[in-house]
Amino acid sequence: MSKTVVSLHQVTIRFAGDSGDGMQLTGDRFTMDTASLGNDLSTLPNFPAEIRAPQGTLAGVSSFQLHFADHHVQTPGDAPDVLVAMNPAALKANIKDLPRGATIIVDSDEFTTRNLTKVGYETNPLEDGSLDSYKVHGIPLTSMTVTALSELTLSRKEAERSKNMFALGLLTWMYHRPTESTENFLNAKFAKKPEVLAANLLAFKTGWNYGETTEDFSVSYEIAPTKMAPGKYRNISGNVAMAYGLIAASKQSELKLFLGSYPITPASDILHELSKHKKFGVITFQAEDEIAAVGSALGAAYGGALGVTTTSGPGLALKAEMIGLAVMLELPLIIIDVQRGGPSTGLPTKTEQADLLQAMYGRNGESPCVVLAPATPKDCFNIAMEAARIATTYRVPVFILSDGYIANGSEPWKIPEQADLPDLRVEFARTQENFLPYARNPETLARPWAVPGTKGIEHRIGGVEKADKTGAISYDPANHDFMVRTRAAKVAGVSVPDLEVDDPTGDAKVLLLGWGSTFGPIAAAVEALRENGESVAQAHLKYINPFPKNLGDVLAKYDRVVVPEMNLGQLAILLRSQYMKDITGYNQVRGLPFSTLEIIEATMAVLND
């Protein structure tokens, strides 16, 4: 039959189903195929904390949202244009997010009385008219997949596992995505399991053929590639970008990279990724607990390596004393905190920005550390390198505050040329007479990095206060006051770039100031507000301790400063205390990123005040 092809500028698709239905894999494959066509994109994986929640329940719903377009994309989209729901639970958990007129594709085989009852449906929504305002396609995905695989020697249950590939094939046809990369991926993934490989390939092709031949889908869609700067691109998640940035920093500094880590959601993928790259001299150590992990990283730093530890909020609390030791010893240490919902175990797979004050002050005594925050997944690469620069130049612990949204989300990344990367090489203390371990560089206040085993530079270590210059144990009150102030001055004096402000007209009265993963929603909101005739300025902090030197002047320029945060106002507290500026906080802690519309409404409330 003749099919109509419609050109679109953008679309947002959400795949949803049981946590065992392969929604993350399905979304990831569709994303990779989309990236290969040159579309700009942003993703939002969302999955339960339980390893396997009860099948068919709301608690077990896993989803993957992708927003792609022929223009620059800032967010994974406020609301899906298309929902692929593999069961009633997936439909019920996500229907509230869909605008009227959206397309819903459901596996009608799963809408049994038993499955409907599990999630509180008294009647079948596919039959009772409750979905009349949507474009609904009820497809017997399960039975069609089983029928397509009937000639293979698989049980029905084994065959059903490939239904996500049927759905992927259908969406691949529907949006003119290439099929080759998914076929190559499946061939590589299941090379040692020929029956499973055959099932997934056949289900994928059957889904594509169904779209091509069925009368239920008379329209397919095209989204042109985005115009991007020339270069080589790949799709990258925040955690992978962080791992690559650390490897690049290791190479540019000519230091061994050592990661001491204890697995914790959502930071574990940094450990997983770095463990694949031993050919670059990367050493990964999966410790027995968080304290051992940071202790090993600090020991590596003492030994002259680029010492890194990764964690999330609960693990950061356990690492506090050892980070204090790094402050006392004035050694370079990178602490990556991929923030999640808290407190305690909290929401392990959901995002939050509530560890800022913990990173700033969550240690005993006066123990200042540098605090950085990436704005997007690809920005993690640059932030990792910047953390290495600061840590090794100033001999200080450096926090990187990522979060679950950045860590698991992905976007296109232009792969840099190695020649364009900064030179991060450092000098170690050399053999000398009368070595003074706390004699400082007058510009950076950094003490020498003295690698153990170097003749003539033996010195004391440990957590007891050190005497100025000699490093001997000291209980002298004046010395302690001097050393505390010196360590604070060193962090305060770290060289960071000025804050850049996006204020095209120069007459805006309201500034939207963000940090971390609020960048995308804020940028999209500002763009929409300006298109509507509003004059709004935007700035984003990547350096939180120390703040950029021009921050005070920036804040003073605007009548109102709005700070959206996924916490109850932690950056706002820091800004008020340091600059005595009235800050309007916009705060939510739902485990989800802000939508563009929410920030638009919050800003309009300030503009109309």
**What gap in Å lies between CA 576 and CA 156, rounded to an integer?**
62
**What gap in Å lies between CA 209 and CA 216, rounded to an integer?**
13
CATH number at residue 582: 3.40.50.920
* 80/182 same-domain check: yes
Pull the structure tokens for residue 576: 């008020």
* 373/276 same-domain check: yes
* 177/297 same-domain check: no
DSSP-derived 3-state class of residue 393: helix
Say if 160 falls within a structural domain.
Answer: yes
* 339/242 same-domain check: yes
Q: What is the pLDDT of residue 510?
A: 98
**What gap in Å lies between CA 22 and CA 45, rounded to an integer?**
12
Say if 370 falls within a structural domain.
Answer: yes
The number of distinct structural domains making up the chain is: 3
- List the chain residues with pLDDT less than 70: 1
Look at the block and give the residue holding tokens 């700035």. 539
Q: How many residues does the chain have?
A: 609
- Give yes or no for a contact between 395 and 331, defined as CB atoms under 8 angstroms apart: yes
**What gap in Å lies between CA 108 and CA 110, rounded to an integer?**
5
Pull the structure tokens for residue 57: 């329940």
Which domain-ending residue is among 223, 243, 276? Answer: 223
- Give yes or no for a contact between 219 and 269, defined as CB atoms under 8 angstroms apart: no
Say if 477 falls within a structural domain.
Answer: no
- C-beta neighbour count of 545 within 10 angstroms: 19
Q: Count Cβ atoms within 10 A of the Cβ of residue 219 and give its class: 0-12 exposed, 13-18 middle, 19 or more buried.
A: exposed
Q: What is the pLDDT of residue 168?
A: 98
CATH number at residue 257: 3.40.50.970
* 191/240 same-domain check: no
* 82/203 same-domain check: yes
The CA distances from residue 3 to 215, 478, 569, in Å, are 9, 83, 52
Pull the structure tokens for residue 286: 């999966």
Say if 466 falls within a structural domain.
Answer: no
Q: What is the pLDDT of residue 53?
A: 84
**What gap in Å lies between CA 516 and CA 2, rounded to an integer?**
48
What residues have CB less than 8 Å from 130, skipping those under 6 apart?
123
**Residue 183 dihedral angles phi and psi, to the nearest 5°:** -65, -40
CATH number at residue 131: 3.40.920.10
**What gap in Å lies between CA 372 and CA 402, rounded to an integer?**
9
* 17/124 same-domain check: yes
Provide the residue range defining the domain that includes 577: 501-607
Which domain-ending residue is among 166, 197, 223? Answer: 223
Say if 538 falls within a structural domain.
Answer: yes
Which domain-ending residue is among 379, 403, 420? Answer: 420
The CA distances from residue 467 to 451, 455, 458, 479, 516, in Å, are 20, 22, 15, 6, 38
For the residues of 302-345, what is the DSSP string, one character each?
Answer: HTTSEEEEEE-HHHHHHHHHHHHHHHHHT--EEEEEEE-B-STT
* 197/270 same-domain check: no
* 250/147 same-domain check: no
Pull the structure tokens for residue 106: 């459901």
Say if 488 falls within a structural domain.
Answer: no
Say if 491 falls within a structural domain.
Answer: no
Q: What are the beta bridge partners of residue 510?
A: 536, 560
Of residues 538, 541, 548, the one with CA closest to residue 515: 541
* 248/160 same-domain check: no
Pull the structure tokens for residue 320: 């506090």
Question: HEC states along 62-120?
Answer: EEEEEEEECCCCCCCCCCCCEEEECCHHHHHHHHHHCCCCCEEEEEHHHCCHHHHHHCC
* 312/392 same-domain check: yes
Burial letters for 447-467: b for 16+ Cβ neighbours within 10 Å, e otherwise?
A: bbbbeeeeeebebeeeeebbb
* 270/315 same-domain check: yes
Pull the structure tokens for residue 557: 């320029």
Say if 432 falls within a structural domain.
Answer: no
Residue 458 is given by DSSP the state -
**What gap in Å lies between CA 560 and CA 219, rounded to an integer?**
48
